[in-house]
């Protein structure tokens, strides 16, 4: 039970970091990765507790890797076109 509460605390901390990092796109992506890692911990804890099939963990890891790669590609494109990863200096949300 203590492990589950600590995982929920980590999830809350990741969401708090995501909400307060609106200047840099890289910090937002790192916060999203932290949230997905805590979700992976939660899923693996629940699967180990109830002894279900562990193939869901592998599916979730594949989805996490795809999310990370897409985020890095978008970050690279934005830095090459706009010169920095500041959200307010780019024209991302004006479209």
Distance from C-alpha of 62 to C-alpha of 29, rounded to nearest angstrom: 17
Q: What is the pLDDT of residue 4?
A: 83
pTM: 0.81
Going by C-beta distance under 8 Å and a sequence separation of 6 or more, which residues neighbour residue 75?
A: 25, 26, 29, 85
In a domain, 88, yes or no: no
Domain that holds residue 72: 2-82
CATH of the domain at 63: 1.10.287.3510
In a domain, 59, yes or no: yes
Q: What is the pLDDT of residue 91?
A: 57
Q: What is the pLDDT of residue 12?
A: 92
In a domain, 76, yes or no: yes
Q: What is the pLDDT of residue 88?
A: 67
In a domain, 94, yes or no: no
In a domain, 90, yes or no: no
20: tokens are 């307060």
pLDDT along the chain (95 residues), means of 10: 86 91 84 91 85 81 92 88 72 55
- The total number of structural domains in the chain stands at 1
Q: What is the pLDDT of residue 92?
A: 54
């Amino acid at each position: 039970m203590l492990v589950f509460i600590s995982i929920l605390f980590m999830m809350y901390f990741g969401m708090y970091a995501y909400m307060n990092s609106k200047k840099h796109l890289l910090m937002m992506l790192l916060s999203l990765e932290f949230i997905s890692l805590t979700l992976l911990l939660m899923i693996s804890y629940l699967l180990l507790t109830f002894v279900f099939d562990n193939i869901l963990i592998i599916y979730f890891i594949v989805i996490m890797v795809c999310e990370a790669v897409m985020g890095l590609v978008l970050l690279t494109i934005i830095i090459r076109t706009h010169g920095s990863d500041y959200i307010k200096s780019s024209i991302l949300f004006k479209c």
